[in-house]
Amino acid sequence: MSGSLLVDNIGELVTNGAGEGPLGIRRNAAVLVEEGRVVWVGPSAYAPAADHHVDAGGAAVLPGFVDSHAHLVFAGDRAAEFAARMAGQPYTGGGIRTTVGATRAATDEELRATVRRLRGEALRQGTTTMEIKSGYGLTVADEARSLRIAAETSTETTFLGAHVVPAEYADRPDDYVGLVCGPMLAAAAPYAKWIDVFCERGAFDVDHARAILACGRAAGLGVRLHANQLGPGPGVQLGVELDAASVDHCTHLSDADVAALADTAHSDGSGTRTVATLLPGAEFSTRSPYPDARRLLDAGVTVALATDCNPGSSYTSSMPFCVALAVREMRMTPAEAVWAATAGGARALRRDDIGVLTPGARADLVVLDAPSYLHLAYRPGVPLIRQVIRNGVPQ
């Protein structure tokens, strides 16, 4: 779309910048967009003229959701595993190998179709930025093609060759770590921005995780980490040690873990350098206790919310669902949850051009079918996303 775009008659605008409260709310507002960027925010009554026009009709508008944790490149589903869990089986992460088998057997076109389908699903639910991980290939060729396909859809791509040790390396995990750090990383790095490790009992221990993340960082990738999902462990503190942008899950934290995260606080009071990304879809779908967001927030830790969309532990692409869960189950206020799903996700990706609606930001906006962001938690399960504008373009 060429020319400027004015979104006006916004009853409640969440800017995550200057304005009322922690969400920087402005009432009766308008946003002017040019060349994919926000260029002006102000009172609707004083809005400049533009080439194109969206009338929000008094509804709420917020930044597009930033889903900083998703696994979209896979084949098959694990509905039967979900049903078994709901009948009492515990989740151990072992089902990852089932998806690895199906993913290796899939064609590029099948994988691409799944990524597009899930990315489209998320977009219709207001997600304008979505990180995509590999991690269901676990061979040099299958990890490289997973990331090549992910990179067709997102610039936020993550190499997760260290998801689990694949069956063929079960009795020689050191050799698999050597493969991940050597030829697999070399093949994946051209398509990846980040490196991630599942640091958990049954996946990778802290020494292997440290070695793999250090190799990734030396290859120019940013560090993120799955940690403390299934039980307590050293993952979160390893993430802090390696200046990870985010440690994800954080379901089982000690006081020392929370303190280590809090110690990464920026001196200007803008939050922590390492973000705790909470993934309540995983606790929902594995019927596990939720992480305690309140404890992190009260310690000053920056919190993000993401879907963890994957066929095993959290097969949802819905950020509104995660916001509602976070409010109901994790002791977050609606404002904290909406911030975490927008600006928090941006922090977890070390981005300052998304998750906010202030001049200079990317023009990623969501118009709700509701008068307030509060409705995202107040009306769970209801399709409240009326319109999505991505990069200045109505979708």
Residues that bind ligand NIG (CB under 6 A): 93, 95-96, 99, 198, 226, 229, 282, 308, 310-314
Of residues 74 and 191, the one with the C-beta less far from Fe ion: 74
Is 21 annotated to bind ligand? Answer: no
**Burial environment of residue 255 by CB neighbours within 10 A (0 to 12, 13 to 18, 19 or more):** exposed
What is the token pair recorded at 368?
């709700």
Is 249 annotated to bind ligand? Answer: no
Q: Residues 367-390, buried b or exposed e (16+ Cβ, 10 A)?
A: bbebeebbbbbeeeeeebbbbbbb
Q: What does DSSP assign to residue 265? A: B
Q: In which residue are the tokens 């991940």 written?
A: 180
Q: Which of 8, 143, 156, 308 binds Fe ion (CB under 5 A)?
A: 308
Q: Helical H runs in the chain?
A: 79-86, 96-105, 108-124, 140-151, 173-179, 185-188, 206-218, 235-241, 255-262, 280-286, 293-298, 319-329, 334-339, 345-348, 375-378
Is 395 annotated to bind ligand? Answer: no
- Contacted by 312, from Fe ion, ligand NIG, none: CB < 5 to 8 Å by type: ligand NIG
Is 310 annotated to bind ligand? Answer: yes
Q: What is the number of the residue whose Cβ is closest to ligand NIG?
A: 312
Of residues 81 and 308, the one with the C-beta less far from Fe ion: 308
Is 285 annotated to bind ligand? Answer: no
Q: In which residue are the tokens 């389908």 written?
A: 117
What does the CA dihedral 66, 67, 69, 72 come to, rounded to 10 degrees?
-130
CB of 226 to Fe ion, least distance (A): 5
- Contacted by 129, from ligand NIG, Fe ion, none: CB < 5 to 8 Å by type: none
CB of 312 to ligand NIG, least distance (A): 2
Q: Are 15 and 33 in contact (CB under 8 A)?
A: no
Is 353 annotated to bind ligand? Answer: no
Q: Which stretch binds Fe ion (CB under 5 A): 56-64, 157-165, 213-221, 304-312?
A: 304-312
| Measured CA distances, 184 to 4, 145, 283 (Å) | 44, 11, 31
Is 231 annotated to bind ligand? Answer: no
What is the token pair recorded at 367?
């118009």
- Contacted by 340, from Fe ion, ligand NIG, none: CB < 5 to 8 Å by type: none
DSSP H or E segment with residue 90 = none
Q: What is the number of the residue whose Cβ is closest to Fe ion?
A: 308
Cα–Cα dist 224/243, whole Å: 9
CB of 72 to Fe ion, least distance (A): 11
How many binding residues for Fe ion (CB under 5 A)? 1
Is 27 annotated to bind ligand? Answer: no
For residue 131, state whether it binds Fe ion (rule: CB under 5 A). Answer: no
**Relative orientation angle of helices 108-124 and 140-151, to the nearest 10 degrees:** 40
CB of 277 to ligand NIG, least distance (A): 10
Q: In which residue are the tokens 């994946």 written?
A: 188
CB of 63 to Fe ion, least distance (A): 23
What is the token pair recorded at 101?
């088998």
CB of 86 to ligand NIG, least distance (A): 15
CB of 183 to Fe ion, least distance (A): 24
Going by the annotation, the residues of the binding site for 4-imidazolone-5-propanoate are 78, 136, 163, 229, 313
Give the footprint of Fe ion on this chain (CB under 5 A): 308
Going by the annotation, the residues of the binding site for Fe(3+) are 69, 71, 226, 308
Going by the annotation, the residues of the binding site for Zn(2+) are 69, 71, 226, 308
